Structure 1
Amino acid sequence: MARFLQGSRLYLAVTVLMCVFVSIYGVGLNDLLERASQLSDKLHSLSTSLTNDLDSHFPPTGRMMMPRPSMCHTSSLKIPNDKDQALKVPEDELLALTRSLLMAWSDPLALLSSEASSLAHPERNTINTKTRELQDNINSLGAGLERLVHKMGSSSENLSDLPFYISSLGQDKTSRLVNFHFLLSCFRRDSHKIDSFLKVLRCRAAKKRPEMC
């Protein structure tokens, strides 16, 4: 009986390892990049839709209070300015930049998700739903990028640490709405970069000519 149990446990362990191996290595690089690109495209579309929802009832004074884009916590990361520059960056570095940007939004999106339901905005229920969807999608994309790391043989050495120290969006209704909008606009900008970098990686993996990307 003991030998049977040991054999069953060994079989189960091997089966689990095989499932992990297949899930990581059984999908081709092009397919993984295609799936990641689809997720990143959805993230950017969702952040754009959320911005439009906020803009539908945003106080004029709020726009005057909005911080400059250079105040985004990811602004210190040195990244390609356009597609031509991105095409010159090695694949592992471009993937590391993409992962750094995505990881930098883990805490900010958690804050937005926790604050969305109590915003002083008539569309807060819709905003709350979309913000949670945004958080779910970024988690899915993060898992996808980890699979890409295994597939491409990249490391974590080139990842940049972009800490986020804000724990509250403010005390009054206007400040909270403005800071929510500002963080979302920063994410919208970064989600476009993530989407662009992944599409460049997908294009290069398919060995297309630069002018075709």
Structure 2
Amino acid sequence: MAHRRCIGRKPFITVLYMVAVCSGVPVSDLLDRASQHSDKLHSLSTTLTHELDSHFPAMGRVIMPRPSVCHTSSLQTPSDKEQALQVSESELLSLARSLLQAWVDPLVVLSSSANTLSHPAQSKIINKILELQEHSKNLGDGLKILSGKMDPTAQTISSLPYRGGNDTGQDRISKLIRFHFLLSCFRRDSHKIDSFLKVLRCRAAKIQPHLC
């Protein structure tokens, strides 16, 4: 009953945060809620990418930088589920937290750049970028709390500074290309975060690896 009252006092803080600070909640439940947040984050970034694709110049796809240029590419992460299953729980959580932290500044750049983006769905894009920022911060706060319940390794965050500046370009085409590239990098990383958390949730629930 005390647990229910605790959950009921959540006017604006995320469910994950409130559940974490309430006593006696299993790590598996926290991971389940974190996975829901990460799923939403990846879904939003995918929707945004498709939105941009609907009004993107053909030449843009040719000159857009490769994913290897993303500022988070230096972080060594599992390339697929099989590799992720070989990594410790604490290290997977550390990787997810490092990726989220690395996107704090770039998401601010995307948010400010969206205001000058030449695109028919500009207002929708602006709103979704704001949602990305909110979900990213909420998930980061929740994972920080979760890391305190695990091995100290989970509290380690790798530094992945963003050095792309605050401007996505001067002309309409360069703005679209740079914006699309940044968003594509975020979509890739949000997929990694979501995958890592789903593996962690699977392990916590003691599900057989081949079913994860």
Equivalent pairs, count: 194
Displacement, 1:153?
Answer: 4.0
Q: 2-side partners of 1:176 and 1:117: how far apart?
A: 11
Structure-2 residue corresponding to 1:114: 112
Q: TM-score, normalised by structure 2?
A: 0.87
Structure 2 counterpart of 1:104, from 83, 102, 105: 102
Q: AA paired with 1:31? A: D
Matched residues in 2 for 1:54 and 1:40: separation? 21
Q: Counterparts in 2 of 1:165-180, with a 5 A limit?
A: 165-166=163-164, 167-180=166-179
Instruction: Give 1:73-152 correspondences, 5 Å limit.
Output: 73-152=71-150
Amino acid of the residue matched to residue 103 of structure 1?
Q
TM-score normalised by L of structure 1: 0.86
Give, as a single letter, the amino acid of the residue that structure 2 aligns with 1:134: L
Q: 2-side partners of 1:170 and 1:117: how far apart? A: 13
Q: Which moved more, 1:192-201 or 1:109-118?
A: 109-118
- Give the corresponding residue for 1:187: 186
Residue-by-residue CA offset, 1:78-117 (whole Å, 9 max, x unaligned): 1111111111111111111111111111110111011112
Conserved 8 A contact 1:24-1:150: no
- State the 1:26 CA deviation: 3.9
**Letter aligned with residue 147 of structure 2:** V
Using the alignment, how far apart are the partners of 1:62 and 1:120 within structure 2? Answer: 14
**Maintained 8 Å contact 1:50/1:127:** yes
Report the Cα distance in structure 2 between the residues aligned to 1:182 and 1:145, rounded to whole angstroms: 27
Cα gap change, 1:24 to 1:178, in 2 (>3 Å):
farther
**Alpha carbons of structure 1 residues 25 and 129: separation in structure 2 relative to 1, 3 Å:** same
Tell me if the contact between 1:105 and 1:187 (Cα under 8 Å) persists in the aligned partners. Answer: yes
Change (3 A) 1:60 1:87: same
Q: AA paired with 2:139?
A: L
Question: Partners in 1 of 2:137 and 2:70 — Cα distance?
Answer: 21
CA RMSD of aligned residues (A): 1.7
C-alpha change, 1:101 and 1:22, in structure 2 (3 Å) is: closer
Letter in 1 for 2:66: R
Aligned to 1:58: 56
Distance 1:24 1:171, change over 3 A: farther
Q: Per residue, is there more helix in 1 or in 2?
A: 1
The separation in 1 between residues aligned to 2:29 and 2:205, in whole angstroms, is 10
Q: Distance in 2 between matches of 1:147 and 1:157?
A: 9
Superposed displacement of residue 154, structure 1:
3.0
Paired with 1:206 and 1:21, the residues of 2 have a C-alpha distance of: 18
After superposition, give the CA deviation of every residue in 1:135-184 in whole Å (9 maximum; x if it has no partner).
10000100110111122243466421100012211111111111000000
Equivalent position amino acid for 1:126 in 2: K
Which shifted more, 26-35 or 141-150?
A: 26-35
CA deviation vs aligned residue, 1:30-78 (integer Å, no higher than 9, x gap): 1110110000000111000000110111111221221111111111111
Structure 2 residue aligned with 1:203: 202
Q: What secondary structure sits across from 1:80 in the alignment?
A: coil
Match of 2:37 in 1: 39
